[in-house]
Amino acid sequence: MDRILGCFSTNNESKENVLKMAKTINFKNKYMDTLYGDDTVILNGFLFSSSDISKNRFIVSEDNDIIIGIDGFIYNIDIFFLIILYKKYDEEMFSQLNGQFSLAIIDKNKSKLILVRDRFGTKPMFYAKINDSIYFSSEINSLKAVLQDDEIDERSLRDICTTWANLGDHTFYKNISSVECGSYVSFSDGNLKSTKYFNLNILPKDKEKTEEDLVDELDYLLNKSIARRLNEPEKTAFYLSGGLDSSLIAAIASKHIDERIDTFSISFLDKNYDEAKYQDMISKYLNSNHRCLTVSSTDVISNIENVVKIIQSPITKTGLSPMYLLSRYVKENGFDTVLSGEGADEIFGGYDIFKEVKIREFCEKDPSSKTRPLLYKRLYSYVNGYESFNSATLSTFFNQVELNEMFSSHYTRFKYGDYCSQFFNKNLRDRLKSYDYIEEIKKNLPEYYDKFSKIAKAQYLEIETFLNNYLLLLQGDSIAMSNGISCKYPFLDNDITDFAFALKDKFKINVLNEKYLLKKLAARYLPDEFLKRKKFPFRAPIDCIGILDRFTSLLTENNLDKANIFNSKAVLKFIDNIKIKDIFSEREQMLLMFIVSVQCLKIKN
């Protein structure tokens, strides 16, 4: 399927606006039918009207009263049965769907528009209300084409420098909203309403199963999930990062495909970020048709402005640039779809931030211990200078928050927001005093959140603040689809996430062994040498001096003042300090990317 955009309206102005939107969006299908009627809509790359819908290739009821467009894929029902399901269950059908999708439903009988996103928000959906019309689109750029202004949502600035992505329904633009993950937005009688149909439930089941039984069950479910995502006509390839998750998907998929599978990876010239050794190991083990794209720091920098314009959001990381280059490379080689390993770290306990919770709990049992904080040395080994920290430094940094405090697992990460926001100008800081990002996160907390274990609470936060709106929405779908590539994520199949969320913590992190159960499964498909490797997160190089050289014109006092976001004197002082340093801290790198990306959107829009 393809992108969705359209308008729920009956006035003539909406027709012209929809055409403006269509010129900006990136459809995989480059052709359109240009038909007009009372309710003008574009779905899946075709412009059509409800009066002429029966002539076209869309999901529509026999009496033309219900129209459904889909961006993405649904795996547990043929999409042509969606009309029947909607007529029987109405909005209650959304919780029954297993897939990666956003939907636009026009119900003419109820004069109603419904916009829906799947459980984890793997596919985007944005909307804007203009007078009495609702415009909606898979891409922000098309909505900007019809808005009278592009005033920013200042809350978004605080969100992004704190959690790396927008919270709730926020976008960078005040008059554009996002349908939240696992939610639908309905519009009728001039009223908008957002409803949550899915909430994470990370509570272990009472019934105890043996480890072997659990591995068998996961084996079955993952094979089933991958097979579902291979049952499409598109030519499919596989991302191979060099990590466990993508390697396991490729290994299982190779059992379902008769010919050699096609794998793609990124290699960085900066060896501190490169995983080519493990990519090559797995590609040879699987005998795949492997292609590797070598990316330099210059390549990363030269595509920063491009990716920022695609996603229409500031960023604090450079990972989007190489992912843009990789998806373009995949498309150039004749593929339309890739399978990737996103979601496994979040649902099976793969990140250091989860192990940090266990170590903090261990330290709290003996606060005077000088040896227990040394366990923190087993985390974040990829961070510059981290290995030089002593016990006292580690204890001061990580144990400054207690486990019983709200969102303690992410306290140290969220503190980056305080550091970045001190560079806002005074007027903006004053206006943001009334905005509390913690309260924004708490809005969607399920009523049973307090029953979660400490690790489950950390998982919940990581999914809600990082996976959904950064990893899947920005670095995943938005970037890949800009090159006409659909990303599919087998680990985010409903059956697998339900299984993972029901696991006891010991099957996620056993002592400090992350993704314990998933590794047990991987042992059936991958070589022992590979399984013993140290986990290394996907990261792209940040050449701070190169970034400053590239974006010098954006960072002048005049342009900083023109953008009216930052305190220009504070930023210029920060830049002067960067220029004389050889090693940069994580927060300095993030701040620089944040400032540059905001300036890209404000000055060169």
**What per-residue confidence (pLDDT) applies to 467?**
95
**What per-residue confidence (pLDDT) applies to 400?**
84
Question: Average pLDDT for residues 176-199, to the nearest whole number?
Answer: 95
User: Which residue type does 28 have?
Assistant: K
**What per-residue confidence (pLDDT) applies to 537?**
82
Task: Kindly tell me if the per-residue pLDDT of 52 is higher than 50.
Answer: no
User: Which residue type does 254 have?
Assistant: S
**Which letter, b or e, does each residue of 155-170 get, where b requires 16 or more Cβ atoms within 10 Å of its Cβ?**
bbbbbbbbbbbbbbbb
Q: At what angle do helices 154-163 and 586-603 cross, to 10 degrees?
A: 150
Q: Please, are residues 456 and 505 in contact by the beta-carbon 8 Å criterion? A: yes
**What per-residue confidence (pLDDT) applies to 495?**
98
More confident site: 216 or 385: 216
Element (H, E) at 103: strand 99-107
Residues 343-368 pLDDT 10s: 999 999 999 999 999 999 999 999 88
Residues 291-332 pLDDT 10s: 999 999 999 999 999 999 999 999 999 999 999 999 999 999
**For residues 565 and 463, what is the distance between their CA atoms, to the nearest angstrom?**
29
Query: Residue 266 forms beta bridges with which residues?
Result: 293
Q: pLDDT-derived band of residue 425, with 50, 70 and 90 as boundaries?
A: very high
Question: How many residues in total does the chain contain?
Answer: 605
**What's the gap between Cα 595 and its chain centre?**
21
**For residues 580 and 82, what is the distance between their CA atoms, to the nearest angstrom?**
60
Task: Kindly tell me if the per-residue pLDDT of 434 is higher than 80.
Answer: yes
Report the candidate in 311, 312, 601 with the shortest Cα–Cα distance to residue 476.
311
**133-137 sheet: strands from edge to edge:** 46-49, 40-43, 4-8, 133-137, 126-130, 177-178
**For residues 538 and 243, what is the distance between their CA atoms, to the nearest angstrom?**
9
Report the candidate in 52, 22, 16, 47 with the shortest Cα–Cα distance to residue 37.
52
Residues 438-458 pLDDT 10s: 999 999 999 999 999 999 999
173: DSSP letter:
B
- Where helices occur in 433-493 by DSSP H, the ranges are 437-442, 454-462, 479-481
Instruction: Please state the φ and ψ torsions of residue 502, each to the nearest 5 degrees.
Output: -90, 0
**What per-residue confidence (pLDDT) applies to 11?**
65
Q: Is 390 exposed, middle or buried (0-12, 13-18, 19+ CB in 10 A)?
A: exposed
Query: Residue 68 forms beta bridges with which residues?
Result: 59, 105
User: Residue 591, SS3?
Assistant: helix
Question: Average pLDDT for residues 65-82, to the nearest whole number?
Answer: 89
Task: Kindly tell me if the per-residue pLDDT of 37 is higher than 50.
Answer: no
Residue 92, token pair as written in the block: 């209650």
Q: At what angle do helices 352-364 and 454-462 cross, to 10 degrees?
A: 150
Element (H, E) at 27: none
**What per-residue confidence (pLDDT) applies to 13?**
66
The pLDDT > 90 percentage for the chain reads 70
Element (H, E) at 113: strand 112-117
Q: Please, are residues 6 and 15 in contact by the beta-carbon 8 Å criterion? A: no
Angle of CA points 472, 473, 479, to nearest 5°? 95
**What per-residue confidence (pLDDT) applies to 33?**
38
Report the candidate in 195, 175, 204, 170 with the shortest Cα–Cα distance to residue 444.
195
**For residues 502 and 517, what is the distance between their CA atoms, to the nearest angstrom?**
13
Task: Kindly tell me if the per-residue pLDDT of 333 is higher than 70.
Answer: yes
User: Residue 14, SS3?
Assistant: helix
Q: Please, are residues 307 and 324 in contact by the beta-carbon 8 Å criterion? A: yes
User: Residue 301, SS3?
Assistant: helix
Q: Please, are residues 575 and 330 in contact by the beta-carbon 8 Å criterion? A: no
User: Which residue type does 36 have?
Assistant: Y
User: Residue 542, SS3?
Assistant: coil
Question: Average pLDDT for residues 459-477, to the nearest whole number?
Answer: 95
Q: Please, are residues 176 and 148 in contact by the beta-carbon 8 Å criterion? A: no
Q: pLDDT-derived band of residue 9, with 50, 70 and 90 as boundaries?
A: confident
**What per-residue confidence (pLDDT) applies to 26?**
62
Report the candidate in 567, 602, 490, 523 with the shortest Cα–Cα distance to residue 229.
490
**For residues 370 and 117, what is the distance between their CA atoms, to the nearest angstrom?**
48
Residues 536-595 pLDDT 10s: 888 898 999 999 999 999 999 999 999 999 999 999 999 999 999 988 988 999 999 999
Q: Please, are residues 36 and 54 in contact by the beta-carbon 8 Å criterion? A: no
**For residues 235 and 262, what is the distance between their CA atoms, to the nearest angstrom?**
10
**What per-residue confidence (pLDDT) applies to 102?**
94
**What per-residue confidence (pLDDT) applies to 64?**
80
